Amino acid sequence: MRYFDTHAHIGLIHEDPIEQLIITQEAKQANVHKIMSITNNLQDFFEVYQNLSTASNVIFSIGVSPSEVQHPGSDWQQKINEGVQKDRVVAIGETGLDYFRKFGDKSSQVELFIAQLELAESFNVPVIIHNRKAGHDIKEILKSKLPSRGGVLHCYSEDWEFASEMLENHDNLYFSFAGNVTYRNARNLHEAVRNIPMNRIVIESESPFMVPAEYRGKRNKPVYMPSTAAFIAELREESEEDVSKALWENACNLFGINPEE
C-alpha cells in the first residue's frame, strides 16, 4: 500500500533542515511515498523549499493563508509568480477563509482568496483551500472562481449536506480528511466520509496538528497518517487495500502526479 499526504506543514514540525529531511524519509519507510509541503507564508515557502530540495518524495504548494492577510507583503503576487515556476511546485495554497480566528477583516480575506484562485487559474494548477467557519462564503466564491484544474477542501470540517452541495456544483473538487476524522465524536465527518464518492476523497496529516486518535498526545507527522486511511476504510466498510489505492490515485490525479512514480 502507498499513501499520499496531501497537506503537511513540515517546516512547523522542525525548523532544522536535517530534521525535516528525516521526517520525509521516515514517512517513506511507512509507505507515505508522497508529501505535499504546505506553508502559510512566502518566506517560509522559500526556506522549506530549499531545505527539502533533495527530498524527491516531496512536492510543494505556494500561497498566502488567511492568517497572513494583514501582512502578505507588497510583492506577494510577484513572489508567487516566482515560486510557482520552481520544480515540483504543483499547486496554489493554502489559501481560503478563516472566520474563527478573525484574521483581519472578512473583505480583506475574501480579496486575498479570490486573487489566489485567479492565480491558480492563470498557472493551470489546483488550489488548496482552508475553510474555518466560512463555509457559506467559500461555497459562493467557488461557484464562479474554482480554477479549471479544481482543488481540495483541506482538513474537511463541514458535514455531508455541505459536501453534497459542493459535489453537485463541482466535478473537480476533492475533500481531504485529517486525523480528526478518527475522533469518535466527529460524527459529522464520519457521515461525510461514508457518503462522499470514494473517487473524491484524499487524506492528509495536517502535521504537526490533528494527530490521529491512535497517537493522541504526540506531535503529529506524516508517518502517522496511514491510521487515518485505516479508519476511513473501517467507516466505509471497505478493505484497506482498496481504500489506500483509491486515495493514492485520487491525490495523484488532483496534483497531476504520475501514480506510477
Q: Inform me whether the pLDDT recorded for 224 exceeds 90.
A: yes
Q: What percent of the chain has pLDDT over 70?
A: 100
What pLDDT does residue 215 have?
97
Q: Inform me whether the pLDDT recorded for 190 exceeds 90.
A: yes
User: Given pLDDT bands bounded at 50, 70 and 90, which one contains residue 77?
Assistant: very high
What pLDDT does residue 73 have?
87
Q: What percent of the chain has pLDDT over 90?
A: 96
Q: What number is the average pLDDT over the span 230-249?
A: 98
Q: Inform me whether the pLDDT recorded for 181 exceeds 90.
A: yes
What pLDDT does residue 261 have?
78
What pLDDT does residue 35 have?
98
What pLDDT does residue 21 have?
97
Q: Inform me whether the pLDDT recorded for 260 exceeds 90.
A: no
Q: Inform me whether the pLDDT recorded for 213 exceeds 90.
A: yes
Residue type, 157: S
Alpha-carbon span 138 to 105, nearest angstrom: 15
For the segment 93-151, what is each residue's pLDDT rounded down to a tens digit?
999 999 998 788 999 999 999 999 999 999 999 999 999 999 999 999 999 999 999 99
Q: Inform me whether the pLDDT recorded for 243 exceeds 90.
A: yes
What pLDDT does residue 45 have?
98
What pLDDT does residue 153 have?
98
Q: Which domains does the chain have, with CATH numbers?
A: 3-255 (3.20.20.140)
